């Protein structure tokens, strides 16, 4: 049993490695990243198998949304790390003349990454890439709800990475609690808002900065001025095609007009059948529900009075095989359970409005989600949406793809989280940006020191305004 | 306290309503508010200096240099730069995603809370306020009760100059802070001690509120006598200024203690003594240029630090205390024990320990035994030592050959790490501190790729694999049927 003492020894070990400088050098970081790349290149079949065991994830999803994304992330870091490590020059002004200034990125030290069960490889290794690139020692705690993936991660990382500075701790609440009692230099957590609060409260005891990648109900607004077929296909691929709705940026519910809704539903039914066949419960192209706890949770959402009679497509359940068919609901009550918590499953409520503008108010009246989506050709609508809807990220005319774009920061706001990562943002998330000012010992101004006088005050005022003429005037006694 | 709770809730309600109305989003509104802060300070210079003198015995020149001047400059920079800061940042997207577009826009968090401190009650209130407003938030400021005159000035004057539906001031102590922290804010900005920083962050955790904590620590000052002896006079002046010249050592970036090689310690002390005299005359208490200690409790704390017999024995200058007059004499200690209390907590007062080492390189080891400070100062021309300091120590910032002045460089982020804090501000960093950077991606409905959709098959898998590797040529071959 991994307890408090083990956690303490673990952190001490890693801190010693960090203090010895093991993780600081460019070479070490590159070696570790290359080892991670080897894991992706040589062990994809095992990863795919583990994901099938844990989640029933189709091979394509595992290969593309976990392994390929990781491979890209590692390659980007390998390519850019030298640049990222270069100090950034900062401009100095007359007030601090003569001086030069720069901002130096330094590792925070020993960091903790707590990962989630739905994309167990991606959400474990992607933050670790950031931690290692930035020169930290890192402990990864994968989710126990994806046990085959957790075990494989532990095995592969022990085999390929430098265990004096990179470790995996498997386990559940006990182990996580023991880890959280330690002092970390940063904690990176992916998971629910409820646990996010627990993590941040634990971090507060040690003034540990955190990145919390949480979730929320990501709404999709569908305008009648759109290409319906493409819209619907993208929604389906983004919902059921990404771990069967069990993703933090999954389209949670749709908002559209009363008029347009029937068209949307018809188009969805048609495309769902194209994608998954007449009997979607038999389709191999969707993940299953992760476990019976979540199955029962989703069941409860469907069975609620006032909700169960709103099902317009799907609704079949198979507890033994942990499957729920792609299900569409129409106009469930706003205060129903299914509209009060993040669904994280294959259920898609459609809410209809009299006019589309109302959707903005609906979204704004709820906690800020991780993503908000809009499908439209209307330029003004796009602009208003982007400007007035607050979410971690906004995607227009597509679903979830922004995850793959390393030039955009990926993170939440409000209930959906704090901090961001991907690309250089990952490197920055695990770095301290230290300000460095180089001053000269020449040119000291008596103005700075007591005893204070009116003359000094005048010069100071001129300096503050950085007005060179005023400064000269004072110095020449003309003011 | 029921009344206070209602006041807070009413204020929150009004600020949220104002934010929802969209008024604070306008750059014009923001610039006007910041301009009003500028006017407020300019119009009330005498009143502000008088309040600071009453609260902390601050001389008006010090008040201007450290507080009013800072705010005026900060406001000017914000007004002149806001248009630039608010421009969305465009991101390059890989060819695969063509013709999609990506950008990042800064949006205000919403309704934010600024908890200020007593030592620089004007600048530590107004500077974050400027940042919050520049970013388009509505903001509630709680000023510190330990600087009552400055606090009263802010509470009375801010409503006369600023949009009261968007910017509010609450006065009060820990009990008011507790009520504020029970409520949900979109961001909390706190300046103060690490102890209270923990309480603020724990409260913020209940609501998943992001925080910026500007805390403190023991800012060490390395004096590498070998390489700076030619300029020793400047060095001594800067150290003295950094200890006693700003709020009598009660600043988060004050010189806390000095590290110097044993053989040079006494000559340093011999130079510090006349420097103190040149600053404050024979009787610093009467000089009018040395700030007071904040409260009797703070004097008692400093007294306690000095009362340790081993510390008493190390006093080489000063040491006298007048609790009534909130006065602690500029004091120098030579090698108080490293395990004494004074060497293990932030001094925050006019007492300067000088710690001697055999070789100046050893100072790095000593610094590393302590929590990461807000600033490290080093007087040296030895490039190797500079490199060692930068790479082997960690601190909010490092300043070579000067002290305190990094505060004035608004191209540099100002903030701590570890025990000295989370987050940063000043200049554009203030704007960023109070903004959520929202990623926006716009795809095209036009070009659709079948390979994106189920049912899956080998072709689609290969296609996507190649797409991810951005192996465009191979992709084309695949599509032309020339690749399996």
Instruction: Please provide the DSSP assignment of A306-356 as one string.
Output: TTGGGEEE---EETTTTEE--EEEES--TTSGGGTS---SSEEEEEEESST
Instruction: Report residue A217's pLDDT band, with 50, 70 and 90 as the boundaries.
Output: very high
As a residue count, chain B comes to 484
In this prediction, what percent of chain B has a pLDDT beyond 70? 99
Q: Which of B93, B390, B464 sits opposite A64 (nearest CB)?
A: B464
Residue A226: list chain B partners with CB under 8 A.
445
Segment B194-222, tens digit of pLDDT: 999 999 999 999 999 999 999 999 999 99
Instruction: Report residue A479's pLDDT band, with 50, 70 and 90 as the boundaries.
Output: very low
Q: Is A227 on the interface with B (CB under 8 A)?
A: yes
Residue B76's closest chain A neighbor by CA? Answer: A465
B203 to chain A, minimum CA–CA distance in Å? 8
Average pLDDT of the residues in A431-441: 94
Closest CA to A102 of A114, A91, A89: A89
B:442-481 residues touching chain A, CB 8 A cutoff? 442-446, 448, 452-456, 460-461, 464-465, 468-469
Alpha helices in B245-382 (DSSP H): 262-280, 284-287, 296-307, 309-312, 362-368
Phi, psi of B379, rounded to the nearest 5 degrees: -100, 105
Distance CA B146, CA B152 (A): 11
A37 to chain B, minimum CA–CA distance in Å? 13
- Give the model's pLDDT for residue B90: 95
- Does the beta-carbon distance from A398 to B422 stay under 8 Å? no
pLDDT > 80? residue A118: yes
Distance CA A134, CA A75 (A): 15
A432 to chain B, minimum CA–CA distance in Å? 7
Q: Is A29 on the interface with B (CB under 8 A)?
A: no
B:285-344 residues touching chain A, CB 8 A cutoff? 287, 289-290
pLDDT > 50? residue A313: yes
Closest CA to B114 of B80, B87, B140, B92: B140
Segment A443-466, tens digit of pLDDT: 666 667 888 877 778 877 776 666
Segment A286-305, tens digit of pLDDT: 999 999 999 999 999 999 99
- Does the beta-carbon distance from A450 to B245 stay under 8 Å? yes
Handedness of CA B336, B339, B342, B346 (dihedral sign): positive
- Does the beta-carbon distance from B453 to A237 stay under 8 Å? yes
Active-site pick, A61, A66, A213, A342: A213
Segment A244-299, tens digit of pLDDT: 999 999 999 999 999 999 999 999 999 999 999 999 999 999 999 999 999 999 99
B:79-98 residues touching chain A, CB 8 A cutoff? 91-94, 97
Read off the pTM.
Answer: 0.96
- Does the beta-carbon distance from A109 to B394 stay under 8 Å? yes
Distance of CA A302 to the CA centre of its chain: 28
Q: Which two tokens stand for residue A257?
A: 């007009």
- Say which range, A409-418, B430-439, B442-451, has the weakest mean pLDDT: B442-451
Q: Which of B391, B394, B400 sits opposite A439 (nearest CB)?
A: B400
- Give the model's pLDDT for residue A473: 60
- C-alpha neighbours within 13 Å on the C-beta side of residue B248: 29
Segment B317-366, tens digit of pLDDT: 999 999 999 999 999 999 999 999 999 999 999 999 999 999 999 999 99
B:378-397 residues touching chain A, CB 8 A cutoff? 379, 390-391, 394-397
- Does the beta-carbon distance from B468 to A68 stay under 8 Å? yes
Q: Which of A204, A214, A274 sits opposite B198 (nearest CB)?
A: A204
Residue B201's closest chain A neighbor by CA? Answer: A204
A305 to chain B, minimum CA–CA distance in Å? 31
Q: What are the beta bridge partners of residue A439?
A: A99
pLDDT > 90? residue B386: yes
ipTM of the complex in this document = 0.96
Q: How many CB pairs under 8 A join A and B?
A: 297
Q: Is A228 on the interface with B (CB under 8 A)?
A: no
Residue B446: list chain A partners with CB under 8 A.
227
């Amino acid at each position: 049993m991994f307890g408090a003492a083990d956690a303490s020894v673990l952190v001490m070990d890693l801190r010693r490695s960090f203090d010895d400088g093991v993780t600081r050098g460019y070479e070490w970081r590159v070696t570790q990243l290359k080892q991670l790349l080897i894991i992706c290149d040589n062990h994809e079949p095992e990863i795919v198998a583990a994901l099938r065991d844990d989640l029933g994830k189709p091979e394509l999803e595992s290969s593309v949304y976990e392994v390929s994304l990781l491979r890209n992330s590692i390659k980007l870091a390998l390519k850019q790390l030298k640049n990222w490590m270069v100090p950034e020059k900062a401009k100095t002004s007359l007030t601090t003349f003569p001086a030069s200034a720069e901002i130096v990125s330094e590792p925070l030290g020993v960091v903790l990454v707590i990962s989630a069960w739905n994309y167990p490889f991606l959400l474990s290794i992607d933050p670790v890439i950031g931690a290692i690139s930035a020169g930290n020692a890192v402990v990864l705690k994968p989710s126990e709800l994806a046990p085959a993936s957790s075990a494989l991660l532990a095995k592969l990382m022990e085999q390929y990475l430098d265990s004096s500075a990179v470790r995996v701790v498997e386990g559940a609440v006990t182990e996580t609690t023991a880890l959280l009692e330690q002092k970390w230099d940063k904690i990176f957590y992916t998971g629910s808002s409820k646990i996010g609060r627990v993590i941040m409260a634990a971090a507060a005891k040690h003034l540990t900065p955190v990145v919390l990648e949480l979730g929320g109900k990501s709404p999709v607004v569908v305008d009648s001025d759109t290409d319906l077929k493409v819209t619907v296909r993208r929604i389906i691929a983004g919902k059921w095609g990404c771990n069967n709705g069990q993703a933090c940026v999954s389209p949670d519910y749709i908002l559209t007009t009363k008029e347009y809704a029937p068209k949307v539903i018809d188009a969805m039914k048609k495309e769902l059948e194209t994608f998954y066949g007449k009997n979607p419960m038999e389709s191999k192209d969707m993940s299953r529900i992760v476990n019976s706890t979540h199955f029962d949770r989703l069941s409860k959402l469907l069975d609620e009075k006032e909700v169960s009679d709103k099902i317009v497509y799907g609704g079949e359940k198979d507890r033994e095989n942990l499957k729920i068919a792609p299900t569409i609901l129409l106009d469930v009550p706003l205060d129903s359970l299914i509209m009060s918590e993040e669904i994280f499953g294959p259920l898609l409520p459609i809410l209809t409005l009299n006019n589309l503008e109302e959707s903005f108010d609906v979204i704004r009246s709820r906690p800020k989600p991780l993503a908000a989506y809009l499908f439209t050709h209307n330029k003004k609508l796009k602009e208003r949406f982007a400007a007035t809807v607050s979410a971690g990220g906004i995607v227009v005319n597509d679903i979830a793809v922004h995850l793959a774009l390393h030039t955009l920061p990926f993170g939440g706001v409000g209930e959906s989280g704090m901090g961001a990562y991907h690309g250089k943002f990952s490197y920055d998330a695990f770095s301290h940006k230290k300000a460095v000012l180089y001053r000269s010992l020449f040119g000291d101004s008596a103005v700075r020191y007591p005893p204070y006088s009116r003359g000094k005050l005048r010069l100071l005022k001129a300096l503050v305004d950085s007005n060179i003429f005023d400064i000269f005037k004072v110095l020449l006694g003309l003011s | 306290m029921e009344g206070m709770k209602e006041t807070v809730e009413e204020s929150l309600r009004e600020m949220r309503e104002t934010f929802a109305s969209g008024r604070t989003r306008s750059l014009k509104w923001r610039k006007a508010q910041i301009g009003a802060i500028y006017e407020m300070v300019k119009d009330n210079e005498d009143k502000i200096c008088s309040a600071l003198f009453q609260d902390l015995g601050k001389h008006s020149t010090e008040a201007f240099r450290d507080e009013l001047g800072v705010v005026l400059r900060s406001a000017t920079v914000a007004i002149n730069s806001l248009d630039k800061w608010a421009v969305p940042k465009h991101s390059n997207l890989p060819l695969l995603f063509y013709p999609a577009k990506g950008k990042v826009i800064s949006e205000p968090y919403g309704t934010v809370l600024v908890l200020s401190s007593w030592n620089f009650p004007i600048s530590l209130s107004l500077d974050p306020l400027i940042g919050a407003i520049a970013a388009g938030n509505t903001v509630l400021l709680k000023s510190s009760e330990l600087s009552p005159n400055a606090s009263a000035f802010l509470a009375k004057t801010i409503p006369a100059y600023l949009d009261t539906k968007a910017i509010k001031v609450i006065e009060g102590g820990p009990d008011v802070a507790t009520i504020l922290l029970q409520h949900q804010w979109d961001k909390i900005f706190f300046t103060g001690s690490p102890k209270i920083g923990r309480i603020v962050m724990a409260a913020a955790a209940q609501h998943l509120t992001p925080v910026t904590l500007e805390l403190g620590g023991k800012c060490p000052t390395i004096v590498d006598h070998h390489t700076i002896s030619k300029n020793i006079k400047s060095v001594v002046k800067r150290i003295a200024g950094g200890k006693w010249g700003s709020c009598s050592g009660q600043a988060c970036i004050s010189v806390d203690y000095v590290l110097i090689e044993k053989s040079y310690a006494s000559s340093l002390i011999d130079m510090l003594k006349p420097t103190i005299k040149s600053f404050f005359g024979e009787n610093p208490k009467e000089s009018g240029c040395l700030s007071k200690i904040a409260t009797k409790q703070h004097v008692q704390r400093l007294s306690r630090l000095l009362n340790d017999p081993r510390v008493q024995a190390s006093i080489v200058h000063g040491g006298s205390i007048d609790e009534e007059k909130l006065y602690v004499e500029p004091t120098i200690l030579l090698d108080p024990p490293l395990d004494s209390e004074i060497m293990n907590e932030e001094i925050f007062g006019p007492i300067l320990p000088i710690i001697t080492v055999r070789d100046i390189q050893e100072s790095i080891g000593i610094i590393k035994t302590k929590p990461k400070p807000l600033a490290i100062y080093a007087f040296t021309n030895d490039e190797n030592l500079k490199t060692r300091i930068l790479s082997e120590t960690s601190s909010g910032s490092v300043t070579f050959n000067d002290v305190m002045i990094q505060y004035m460089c608004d191209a540099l982020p100002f903030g701590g790490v570890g025990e000295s804090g989370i987050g940063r501000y000043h200049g554009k960093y203030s704007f960023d501190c109070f903004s959520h950077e929202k990623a926006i991606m716009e795809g095209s409905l036009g070009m659709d790729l079948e390979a994106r959709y189920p049912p899956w098959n080998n072709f689609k898998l290969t296609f996507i694999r190649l797409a991810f590797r951005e192996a465009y040529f191979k992709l084309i071959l695949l599509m032309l049927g020339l690749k399996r």
